[in-house]
Structure 1
């Protein structure tokens, strides 16, 4: 007997239920396998990409920060040394004024520390043993009374150091020393032992003999001074009517550099050092071991450690960079940068473990999150498998349609998670899951959302740190652009119908500087040209430059054409009143009568200009003025005005010391002689623009790959006579 319809229907229902259950179970376990495989692939991919990304970003940021610190500290030491060198140069300049115009200075007496008490920050005189007799003192009394006026400047320089260990002095060839120092603690009187005072003669000191023999500025190696402190000395010879008269100097304590190096420390293994042009250690914050300062230092280029020798060679070549080195068997990262003013190089080191510590911490934290997530997967899939079996038993009683609907509803979120996991693994951290199943699948989706959000926040934080570094560089570039825009521009109609050709240019160094030039008509028949150089660099110097430019122009525009010396005198007084930072500026200003060709000028401590005259047929320097003080150093100074007549076709060329002192990679300057030779290779018909371009090309040939150390500013004016009408554009 055959099966009944009911049995067949039941059989079909049972078969359909079994098939439906089998399909649902297949989809469920297939989805679980797919998800598990996707998660494993995603975890592996994410581990690799995050490790690579963290290593690259963290290493680059750490090296950039270390190099940035090295450059800042090298720049700080360079500015300190340059400031002291400028102070000694100013002392030599003041001595020259005293010896040239003794009638303008009173005769003064200074205390002798061998006879009476003298305290720090007070000027005093020390006599060498061979000039302590009364007869010898009487013989030198007139000269000493005059030269004692220099003590005011020495005292001001010491006080400006604000308690730092320092000394400024002038040692005469006649055996006496005028000095002011602050090398003693607790404000006690200066003390000279009997052994010291009975033997000490400044003329026999190394700094004195080196300066005397070289005839130029010298910086000594470090040595231990009479007070027991390690110091270096800056020394410059001075002359009286062309004859050697003595040496002006300044002692700079290495403790000052040590304090500057310790202002910012990156980690517990961070230490700093500097080497001179011979590769010898000049100071070091490392107390012992390799690169520690322990007596006489050998040339580091001869170090047994190859990495240190190679690093020293690059440092002495004036390079900057970051490289790994071995110090006492441990790997360090060394960042180094040059100190141009004295030819040294500064280095700062940090152990590789500290450099790599941030990236290791980030990698471990991320690995912990991945491991925690991986640990939650297996229980989740176990629970999911059990639920699937329970559903299979129940679904055996459900029709095929109901089973299919539940299979679709159950498998869809699993597929969404698998696809989303692949998308996140490819780098799309904005991917979010909106799954509302009310079970572990929803919890897993929420876990994905939280994890990708945290990962995105960490990467954003790294990007913000990088952007902040780039913002500082952008602001400095904007400051340089604002400074350059303040210079006058040669507009198309500026010199139309005027009997002159003029061209000017300024090429600043990396930072904002203090050079400027200016030109303007005071009336229909007179044009004023100016070039100047502020004593310092950076933003303060740029502000002082703009003030000086405005004051000079305002005074020139409100004075008669023949009162150029009065214009400079009033400008000096106004700058002195506003000079809270003790800066000064060298200026050359000249005024040309366009009808007669008369050129009156005043040189206030600036480089001598060059004139190409029709008589000589060549460029030659204008004679230096004996009395030409800079602007801003003292109120009430008077300035000498001179004049000459320019014939048609004659040219005036102005420049700053950034031209003649442009240095090549070995530290050699271009020099006034080479500049004169370059100028005289040009023909008498060479126009100002081509003249300046020729000089600029020669500077580039001389400098080579060396970094520009100072602003380069030039201005050329050619008088073509009242009958000629010509125009030329210039660039800023």
Structure 2
């Protein structure tokens, strides 16, 4: 190299530097594009998984609700000799269900009844345990006896061995709360294939569903269904991280990675799996890696070819330019060398190419750090959103749903609603029968909003249930206040109204811990307030005593409870909804049923607020007392 001309040496150095720089850029761009592509495919797979799980969950939840409702009414119809008719009607009314199986306990031995759908309009009745035993197994009996509700592992129907089914078992409770039997609602899993086959997957991918034990519930190869197990496939398919993926699957968690599936002739493929809520099933999506990166690899080859041609052209041009530019310098050097007294070259030189290389390296480091920070930020945001969603689901589970009229208590008509200002809130309400004639109902408002207020609300809600046997509103509040005050490190407090209604006499024992005054709405359109406060908010002072009061509800009287999110609701001009407006609206709704009254009040608030953002949680509860002789 040293015996070459300076023009040639400089050309080689510059071309080498340019080649290195372009190679680094192409390599980084390729890897970054590869990461982005995997991320996009993963986002698409997660979205498709959510679509599949949403459709599956909708059917699963529907089956659970239907089975629970049937279980809650089974003994009533059995006592009237109409259980077979009731199960048949329930089956006809719910096309999703393929059968119901009932085992009723009695001193003389269990009684069995199975109603199984044979086609869209016909079903068969069985009165022995042939079909119940496939659903109500000894394990199921143990779990249901412990208060659990159980989804069975999928199995084939005894009437039609080509039909894969699963059942949901629920306890049948007697009036005194004992378990009087077990009901299993049966659904066909044919809908799983329809859900999965109805999805369009990118790059020639496919999806399938596996059960809790890893058994294939769906698959493009029908002969693999219920015959293959994800945990028993060969190490050729999962040569790496097999234990990790199996642990994630068994723990009902999501994950992704690479495998070599048999369906693609053991070629490398990318996969993603995620759990299906309300079940122990998982959905798995697979995309061939060759198809995944084919377009990117083609672009890389084109870039390399174009770059090689460009570099050769640049080399020729640089040599020509340097030769022309350095020709006078070469003549001068030859002339000066005759008068030179030695080599005076500077060895520690740093040219522009080296500076550019240092700058590119620093920029690359900053760019990689930025990507890591962005990825971590996205992970933290997803985790927060997941935690917030879980907190909302927990709060929704704590607050009771719409009151279902109990045939044993026709004298009570009750409806309540909660609209949090944020994803989760600090309002609470509850209602339940302490015993056969005492209804406890309560409404409260925790200071603050968000997750801390919701956690405080959940603790208070649990304590109220635990203290309910006192049958005294003031004693319950005193006990809850004492325990909350000792545990209240964040200094939250709770305004609370708690009442215990004797449904036989109409006598209401209540205690108001600084909560909004409830309304008493009478059938003659008279609207009044229970303007009594019996103590400070709960959770402030542990040893503060509370008092209480009694009143008698007459037939047709209605109690309306609310939180300050109702009266403090503002419109676009910052005008409050106010107690007067609420009173006027109630006076025009005295003859409405409790559900209609609550819904109209919520609609009135929404119309009043308009486009203004809701600033506080809104809770409403209406209880109408019809009297013990109400039919």
With the length of structure 2 as denominator, give the TM-score of the two structures. Answer: 0.51
The answer to whether structure 1 residue 332 and structure 2 residue 269 are counterparts is yes
Contact 1:649 1:719 in 2 (8 A): no
What is the root-mean-square deviation in Å for CA atoms of aligned residues? 5.7
Task: Quickly say closer, same or farther: Cα 1:70–1:191, change in 2 above 3 A.
Answer: closer
Q: Cα distance, 1:223 vs. partner?
A: 2.4
Task: Quickly say closer, same or farther: Cα 1:83–1:205, change in 2 above 3 A.
Answer: same
Task: Quickly say closer, same or farther: Cα 1:264–1:388, change in 2 above 3 A.
Answer: same
| Structure with higher RCO (Cα < 8 A, 6+ apart) | 1
- Show the counterpart of 1:270: 206
Distance (whole Å) between structure 2 residues aligned to residue 607 and residue 147 of structure 1? 43
- Show the counterpart of 1:540: none
Look up the SS of the partner of 1:285 in the other structure.
Answer: coil
Distance (whole Å) between structure 1 residues aligned to residue 538 and residue 388 of structure 2? 18
Q: Cα distance, 1:206 vs. partner?
A: 0.7
Contact 2:114 2:126 in 1 (8 A): no
Q: Cα distance, 1:274 vs. partner?
A: 1.3
Distance (whole Å) between structure 2 residues aligned to residue 369 and residue 82 of structure 1? 58
Distance (whole Å) between structure 2 residues aligned to residue 295 and residue 372 of structure 1? 57
Q: Cα distance, 1:217 vs. partner?
A: 2.6
- Show the counterpart of 1:49: 28
Q: Cα distance, 1:281 vs. partner?
A: 0.9
Contact 2:210 2:282 in 1 (8 A): yes
Greater gyration radius: 1
The answer to whether structure 1 residue 601 and structure 2 residue 398 are counterparts is no
Contact 2:477 2:538 in 1 (8 A): no
Which of 229, 233, 241 pairs up with 2:163?
229
After TM superposition, list the pairs within 5 Å mapping 1:470-549 onto structure 2.
508-510=388-390, 512-513=392-393, 515=395, 532-534=399-401
Contact 2:56 2:276 in 1 (8 A): yes
Contact 2:103 2:113 in 1 (8 A): yes
Which of 588, 602, 611 pairs up with 2:430?
588
Unaligned runs of 5+ in 1: 1-25, 103-141, 159-164, 397-415, 430-455, 481-506, 518-530, 536-547, 549-564, 576-585, 591-598, 613-618, 624-641, 654-684, 694-714, 725-731
Which of 290, 296, 300 pairs up with 1:363?
300
Task: Quickly say closer, same or farther: Cα 1:60–1:647, change in 2 above 3 A.
Answer: closer
Unaligned runs of 5+ in 2: 105-110, 332-350, 404-408, 419-427, 433-437, 444-457, 491-536, 549-616, 618-631
Which of 198, 201, 207 pairs up with 2:135?
207
Distance (whole Å) between structure 2 residues aligned to residue 508 and residue 38 of structure 1? 52
Which of 702, 707, 721 pairs up with 2:545?
721
The answer to whether structure 1 residue 255 and structure 2 residue 191 are counterparts is yes
Task: Quickly say closer, same or farther: Cα 1:190–1:427, change in 2 above 3 A.
Answer: farther
Q: Cα distance, 1:155 vs. partner?
A: 4.4
Which of 255, 275, 285 pairs up with 2:219?
285
The answer to whether structure 1 residue 690 and structure 2 residue 487 are counterparts is yes
- Show the counterpart of 1:660: none
Q: Cα distance, 1:651 vs. partner?
A: 1.9
- Show the counterpart of 1:552: none
Contact 1:157 1:168 in 2 (8 A): no
- Show the counterpart of 2:252: 318
Task: Quickly say closer, same or farther: Cα 1:205–1:287, change in 2 above 3 A.
Answer: same
Q: Cα distance, 1:690 vs. partner?
A: 0.7
Distance (whole Å) between structure 2 residues aligned to residue 273 and residue 299 of structure 1? 10
Distance (whole Å) between structure 2 residues aligned to residue 652 and residue 198 of structure 1? 52
Cα deviation, 1:388-437, whole Å, max 9, x if unaligned, reads 79x98xxx9xxxxxxxxxxxxxxxxxxx99699758855879xxxxxxxx
- Show the counterpart of 1:353: 290
Q: Cα distance, 1:316 vs. partner?
A: 0.8
Task: Quickly say closer, same or farther: Cα 1:317–1:213, change in 2 above 3 A.
Answer: closer
The answer to whether structure 1 residue 218 and structure 2 residue 150 are counterparts is yes
Q: Cα distance, 1:39 vs. partner?
A: 2.4
Task: Quickly say closer, same or farther: Cα 1:54–1:62, change in 2 above 3 A.
Answer: same
After TM superposition, list the pairs within 5 Å mapping 1:546-695 onto structure 2.
569=413, 571=415, 588-589=430-431, 601-602=440-441, 620=466, 622=468, 644-647=472-475, 650-652=478-480, 686-688=483-485, 690=487
- Show the counterpart of 1:167: 98
